[in-house]
Amino acid sequence: MITIPDLIRKKRDGGQLSDDEIKAFIQAVKEKTIQDSQTGAMLMAIWLNGMVSAEIKALTREMMSSGEVMEWPDEWKNFMVDKHSTGGVGDKVSLVLAPALAACGCKVPMISGRGLAHTGGTLDKLESIPGFKVEQSREQILEILDSVGCCIVGQTETLVPADRVLYALRDITSTVDSLPLVTGSIISKKGAESLFALVLDVKFGRAAICKDLESATELAQMLVEAGNGLGICTAAVLSGMNSTIGRCVGNSVEVIESLETLKGNRPDDLMELVTTQGGLLLVMTGLVSDLSEGRKQISEAVVGGAALSKFQAMMEAQGVNSDTAQLLCSTNADYYSILRKAKHQLELKAPADGIVLEIDGLVLAQVLHRLGAGRSKAGEPVNHSVGAVLLVSIGQRVTKGDPWLRLHYEDLALTPDQRNHLESALTVGADKKIQTQQKHTLVEKILPEKYQ
């Protein structure tokens, strides 16, 4: 019988682990019969030597099978869909996309995460709404999907327990960026949702895990292959992540922007991501024949108010008082009568006349993180009121002294260094520089290309 040290040695020396060997490793992780130091050694061996496709498929399958796998009524099975983003700045796509998909006839059991480091978490955003409960039992999820069509919840204790162990150890062993381990973590959780179709938003750029299109494509191909390997119809959208998505960054302000989008006041870049990802899922489920028609249906669900109605119903089903939900979804909502507003607001001014050439999303997110909008360790609280609202767009002409950013912050005062850092996020240039810029779009390509 092969031992854990034998498995570590084999992977360390560049060998390919068999399905049974990977199963034995994940079983030991789940049953806690392996020492953390041994798990860490295996993770580092995988980080150093990578994994071939067969290994990644086995790893993903065994991680998924380490806990409960959701079951749905037969009549839902071809319409169970979800999405996953590799993380960005101002990424509020889920808050708009889930209800839009439900309005189009899909069932969306969206299991989301919390923010860590500079990236925001969907659950943190929703918890800025008083009463919103992200922890729901399997029975409650079934009930919400039956009555509403979508829910956005946290990972349950019984779902992919092996991933929780591996994720924590990846963080402290500097193996977070191993593509096979990233793939196993993401796809095993989606597999446990028993999805029919999945779309992955793989981001690249300064504010993303993948810094360039080449590495993002490598990750996307790995994720799509692993998803298809579990029997999930899987596609990936590769999108740029240098600036922000929409104009708001931070928990409460992103909820406000999401609600405004659902009321028809929609930023073009956010809607590009929502309609592309939603349109793909409608194609994959067979609800539409092509991506153009899919985009159109998702857009109509948002513009026509059907998605807003679903969002209101989802809030109420997940614990929000009906009067609160109704007020938030009303036409001229006084958002800050419900959502927490930061004690202080500060506007930053444009340093010169010219065209806005660039807004560095990573810089904004890093400063907001230090001011309390994010967390450095899992389990830390976040301040939902801290955030920033962009008052200008890329390509817009500004005059020296025009406000370009409104910062919302609490007791932690902005230090001179943080202010300088924020001001460096804006690049204003002469008119001639803007001539080379095209319309500001985020989606670079779609995999598989047959959906393009």
Residue boundaries of the structural domains of the chain: 4-50, 74-329+442-451, 342-433
Residue 176: pLDDT band (50, 70, 90) is: confident
pLDDT higher at 81 or 155: 81
170: annotated active-site residue: yes
Residue 387: pLDDT band (50, 70, 90) is: very high
The CATH number given to 74-329+442-451 is: 3.40.1030.10
Contacts of 211 (CB under 8 A, 6+ apart): 204, 205
Angle (nearest 5°) at CA 279 between 290 and 183:
110
Point out the catalytic residue in the list 82, 91, 124, 163: 163
Point out the catalytic residue in the list 170, 190, 266, 370: 170
Contact between 161 and 189 under an 8 Å Cβ cutoff? The reply is no
Fold for the domain defined by 342-433:
Aldehyde Oxidoreductase; domain 3 (3.90.1170)
Contact between 145 and 317 under an 8 Å Cβ cutoff? The reply is no
Point out the catalytic residue in the list 85, 185, 188, 239: 185
Point out the catalytic residue in the list 189, 190, 295, 310: 189
pLDDT for position 172: 86
- Give how far the C-alpha of residue 364 lies from the chain's centroid of Cα atoms, to the nearest Å: 18
84: annotated active-site residue: yes
pLDDT for position 119: 60
Q: How large is the average pLDDT for residues 161-169?
A: 89
164 CB neighbour count, 10 Å cutoff? 17
How buried is 421 (Cβ within 10 angstroms: 0-12 exposed, 13-18 middle, 19+ buried)?
A: middle
pLDDT tens digits, one per residue of 33-44: 999 999 999 999
Closest C-alpha to 96, from 236, 265, 209, 292: 265
Contact between 140 and 302 under an 8 Å Cβ cutoff? The reply is no
Answer whether 74-329+442-451 and 342-433 agree in fold.
Answer: no
Q: Is the pLDDT of residue 433 over 70?
A: no
What is the 3-class SS of the chain, one letter each residue? CCCHHHHHHHHHCCCCCCHHHHHHHHHHHHHCCCCHHHHHHHHHHHHHHCCCHHHHHHHHHHHHCCCCCCCCCHHHHHHEEEEEECCCCCCCHHHHHHHHHHHCCCEEEEECCCCECCECCHHHHHCCCCCCCCCCCHHHHHHHHHHCCEEEECCCCCCCHHHHHHHHHHHHCCCCCCHHHHHHHHHHHHHHCCCCEEEEEEEECCCCCECCHHHHHHHHHHHHHHHHHCCCEEEEEEEECCCCCCCEEEHHHHHHHHHHHHCCCCCHHHHHHHHHHHHHHHHHCCCCCCHHHHHHHHHHHHHCCHHHHHHHHHHHHCCCCHHHHHHHCCCCCCHHHCCCCCCEEEEEECCCCEEEEEECHHHHHHHHHHHHHCCCCCCCCCCCCCEEEECCCCCCEECCCCEEEEEEECCCCCCHHHHHHHHCCEEEECHHHHCCCCCCCCEEEEECHHHC
Residue 436: pLDDT band (50, 70, 90) is: very low
Residue 437: pLDDT band (50, 70, 90) is: very low
Handedness of CA 262, 273, 197, 168 (dihedral sign): negative
Point out the catalytic residue in the list 11, 83, 84, 295: 84
Q: What is the residue-averaged pLDDT of the chain?
A: 93
Contact between 245 and 87 under an 8 Å Cβ cutoff? The reply is no
pTM of the predicted protein model: 0.93
Contacts of 146 (CB under 8 A, 6+ apart): none
- Give how far the C-alpha of residue 223 lies from the chain's centroid of Cα atoms, to the nearest Å: 15
Q: Is the pLDDT of residue 204 over 80?
A: yes
Maximum Cα–Cα distance for the chain, whole Å?
A: 73
Q: Which residues pair with 406 in a beta bridge?
A: 347, 389
pLDDT tens digits, one per residue of 314-361: 999 999 999 999 999 999 999 999 999 999 999 999 999 999 999 999
* Alpha-carbon span 42 to 31, nearest angstrom: 16
Fold for the domain defined by 4-50:
1.20.970
Exposure of 155 in the CB half-sphere (CA atoms within 13 A): 22
Give the full edge-to-edge strand order of the sheet including 403-409.
Answer: 248-250, 387-390, 403-409, 344-349
